Amino acid sequence: MRIEEDFAGRLLGGALKGGADFAEVYVKSARNLSVEVKGRVMDALESSTDFGYSLRVIRDKRLGFSFSTDMRDANTVIENALEASRWTEHDEHLCLPEPSGRNPLDIFDKEVSEIDEDAALQKALSLESAALDTDRRITRVRKASASFSVKNVMIMNSKGVHDTYAATSCTAQLIVVAEDGDDSQMAWDFEGSRFLREVPFENVGETAARRALMLLGAKKAQALKADVILDNSVATEFLGLFASLLSSESVQKGKSLLAGRLNQAVVSPVISIYDDGGIPSKLGSRPFDDEGVATSRKFLIKDGVLLGYLYNCYTARKDGVISTGNAVKGSFSVLPTVGPLNLCISVSPAHVHTGGPSSLIDKGLYVTDAMGVHTANPVSGEFSVGVSGLWIEHGHLHHPVKEAIISGNLLDFFGKIKAAGDDLRFYGNLAAPSLLIADVDVSA
């Protein structure tokens, strides 16, 4: 659905006329197409069109918010937002951003926006077939799906912000099962981009198949302290957990281990962590955040030292800094929170190795899959997760390992990073290379 700028202007004007000191209109329209296949035939197809808008007002330093999916509700939305502002608490930190420009980006792909159901189905079928045709021991594909979307976003506020963008996205993912006798192993893979040409559906299927095949014949792990290599897919899962520590919301609520540690060494000096909403074609890229603040690259950790946190307008005002352009909304129907756009780990060149995981260590565990990373405690940083992978002996992949557990503290874990592979890869809006972690507790 095309966004009507006049409609947004009427909402804004109505809110100000009704007594709001400041007001913001957020409008989003989207089209989504997803296909899931099973047994080389279509299993599910979903096509949808969504539209919604919200109004945020600040009156007498009190917040009001309302939303709808129907433009005919505009007057009611204005009334509800103003009425809500009568009952919320007085808050000195409520604010809206002023214009900050935009990061010019090409994030719209005509091929994605125009793909039809038949073409989408063929992409999903090629994904599944690539996995099944890799080896006769790939017996099942539990889920093979392809998704395509296009969205339009507009933000207008009473301080002069008025901007729009259109973006597309395309993803491929699947879970495969490899079987050999009584042994059964699962693996997955994922790829996503703003552009159809950058999502290799067949490669995703083959990669998942190879991962499952590698684990056939796995032996149970022994309890020991060992060097561990996290595959880049697993490293991004831990990075996602670490992201919560970098949120200014978590810091201000006392729920981050990084609170009060600015300009201190907090992780290994080998790594830096930055967020960048302007990386070409990535799923988190956009010209401005969900409050209209231009996106940019910012180093949060540089050579192990904490330089800053992620901010939206509200949390930045509480700390007396400026927004980093990290306001995010999961939907038009919620207020903006703080989150990463494209969060990446970079490693100093002197500590990047080529030649695959076995080039990083002589002996240790190469973790290709981790279960339950999301269950780790982001406040204490303690984690204990089940993993599977490959044992490395004398610099060679020796045998697959199953039912192992690695545990520790998140900051200590990141503090023990010694090296990385030259295989940086994005999974969604998170990117990391394979990482070598020294002296990890491994139990059976």
- Tens digits of per-residue pLDDT, 50-60? 999 999 999 99
Asked if residue 258 and residue 307 are part of one domain, the reply reads: yes
| Last residue of one domain, picked from the residues 214, 240, 260 | 214
pLDDT at 296: 94
Asked if residue 94 and residue 203 are part of one domain, the reply reads: yes
Asked if residue 334 and residue 241 are part of one domain, the reply reads: yes
Nearest to 292 by CA among 31, 22, 83, 67: 22
Asked if residue 170 and residue 229 are part of one domain, the reply reads: no
Tokens representing residue 270 in the block: 């080998």
pLDDT at 373: 87
pLDDT tens track for 309-364: 999 999 999 999 999 999 999 999 999 999 999 999 999 999 999 887 777 888 89
Asked if residue 259 and residue 360 are part of one domain, the reply reads: yes
Distance CA 386, CA 46 (A): 34
Distance CA 173, CA 304 (A): 33
Residue type, 166: A
Residues of the chain falling short of pLDDT 70: 1-3
| Residues in the chain, overall count | 444
How many structural domains are present in the chain? 2
List phi, psi (to 5°) of 67: -155, 165
Asked if residue 157 and residue 95 are part of one domain, the reply reads: yes
Asked if residue 320 and residue 174 are part of one domain, the reply reads: no
Mean pLDDT score of the chain: 95
Annotate 216-239 with DSSP letters as a single string.
TT-EE---EEEEEEE-HHHHHHHH
Q: Is 59 helix (H, G, I), strand (E, B) or coil?
A: strand
Domain extent at residue 230:
219-443
| Last residue of one domain, picked from the residues 214, 229, 259 | 214
